[in-house]
């Protein structure tokens, strides 16, 4: 018996020497909060759908993982939900797509100070020290590809109006990239750029104002496929024939189908930006935290120009977006 106890003691000493313990040998328990905007338009409907797909698949694969998905219709509601996720649900990791950048930065920082691992998705924070990792589509390419396409199609001269999204870091990145190309072409005039909030109805109203104020417009950069729908409706109602191109963004299935089939001459190209990146962000974060590992500081999913020639590669009829 003494020999057996001595062997056990030696064995435990060896384990300790190599830095192992019963707790580290067991897989970490992770409670992962997912905080996203509500499905107020088709892109965020895709975000909600992919988030719940990630929850279903990851919880089935990992018994030590719990995923809690919360949606919010505005920044104040999202900030309140973050506190509930911390105090009620006791999360130790968070994947968040902020409704707005500035107003969500401090609420997220408060969770990070409490030891919650933070992955920010798509809409960045104004202070990156509030996050551990960032996952997004390529917003620079999103704006750059659109501008390059419009410049080429207009032969370097013409009048353009733009519709921005919601005031966020990603919207700034897109607009800065767009303008960096346009500014190199003095014969291209950007008449105005106003926020359409990635919303069809808001975009319709903004475009109505543009059509009233500007008697001639060659092209519209809507910067989102939902906004492009509102823009097209306004153009149709006004019976304007001067506009040659409406360029949206994100590769919504209806837009891609129209490009593929050539059903609307105003829709000639788009740029990819799939809401599936939220699924990837949740999966990467969950699997890393289960291993007590960290993600790279930044993960960027490439954006690609979609034209009639490659549209079939970006058309997913079963997708909610």
Determine the structural domain holding residue 258 and report its residue range.
139-271
Question: CA 97, CA 78: separation in Å to the nearest integer?
Answer: 10
Q: Per-residue DSSP letters for 235-275?
A: HHHHT--S--EEE--B--HHHHHHHHHT--TT---EEB--T
Nearest to 198 by CA among 267, 146, 266, 250: 250
Same domain, 254 and 105: no
Same domain, 115 and 234: no
- Residue 116 located in a structural domain: yes
Same domain, 165 and 235: yes
Question: CA 240, CA 217: separation in Å to the nearest integer?
Answer: 9
Token output for 107: 């609420």
Domain with 85 in it: what CATH number? 3.40.50.2300
User: pLDDT tens per residue, the chain (321 residues)?
Assistant: 333 333 333 343 333 343 333 333 345 799 999 999 999 878 899 999 999 999 999 999 999 999 999 999 999 999 999 999 999 999 999 999 999 999 999 999 999 999 999 999 988 899 999 999 999 889 999 999 999 999 999 999 999 999 999 988 889 999 999 999 999 999 999 999 999 999 999 999 999 999 999 999 999 999 999 999 999 999 999 999 999 999 999 999 999 999 999 999 999 999 999 888 899 999 999 999 999 999 999 999 889 999 999 999 999 887 778
Backbone angles phi, psi at 69, to 5 degrees: -100, 125
pTM of the model: 0.73
Same domain, 133 and 279: yes
Question: CA 101, CA 98: separation in Å to the nearest integer?
Answer: 6
Show the CA angle centred on residue 253, arms to residues 38 and 165, nearest 5°. Answer: 45
Q: How many domains does the chain have?
A: 2
- Residue 80 located in a structural domain: yes
Same domain, 111 and 222: no
Same domain, 252 and 289: no
Same domain, 162 and 266: yes
Sequence-separated (6 or more) residues with CB below 8 Å from residue 209: 194
């Amino acid at each position: 018996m003494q020999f057996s106890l001595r062997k056990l003691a030696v064995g435990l000493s060896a384990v300790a020497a190599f830095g192992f313990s019963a707790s580290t040998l067991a897989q970490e328990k992770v409670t992962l909060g997912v905080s996203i905007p509500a499905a107020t338009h088709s892109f965020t409907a895709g975000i909600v759908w992919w988030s719940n797909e990630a929850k279903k698949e990851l919880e089935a694969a990992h018994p030590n993982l719990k995923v809690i998905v919360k949606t919010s219709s505005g920044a104040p509601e999202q900030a309140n939900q973050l506190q509930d996720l911390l105090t009620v649900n006791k999360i130790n990791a968070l994947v968040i797509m902020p409704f707005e950048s500035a107003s969500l930065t401090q609420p997220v920082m408060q969770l990070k100070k409490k030891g919650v691992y933070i992955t920010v998705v798509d809409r960045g924070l104004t202070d990156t020290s509030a996050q551990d990792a960032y996952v997004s589509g390529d917003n620079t390419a999103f704006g750059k590809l659109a501008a390059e396409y419009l410049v080429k199609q207009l032969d370097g001269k013409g009048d353009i109006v733009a519709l921005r999204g919601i005031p966020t870091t990603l919207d700034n990145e897109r607009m800065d990239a767009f303008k960096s190309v346009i500014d190199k072409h003095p014969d291209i005039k950007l008449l105005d750029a106003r926020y359409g909030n990635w919303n069809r109805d808001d975009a319709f109203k903004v475009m109505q104002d543009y059509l009233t104020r500007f008697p001639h417009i060659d092209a519209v950069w809507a910067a989102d496929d939902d906004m492009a729908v509102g823009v097209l409706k306004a153009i149709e109602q006004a019976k304007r024939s001067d506009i040659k191109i409406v360029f949206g963004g994100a590769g919504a299935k209806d837009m891609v189908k129209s490009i593929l089939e050539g059903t609307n001459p105003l829709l000639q190209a788009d740029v990819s930006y799939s809401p599936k990146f939220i699924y990837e962000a949740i999966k990467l974060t969950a699997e890393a935290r289960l291993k007590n590992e960290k993600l790279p500081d930044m993960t960027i999913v490439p954006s690609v120009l979609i034209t009639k020639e490659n549209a079939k590669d970006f058309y997913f009829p079963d997708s909610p977006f």
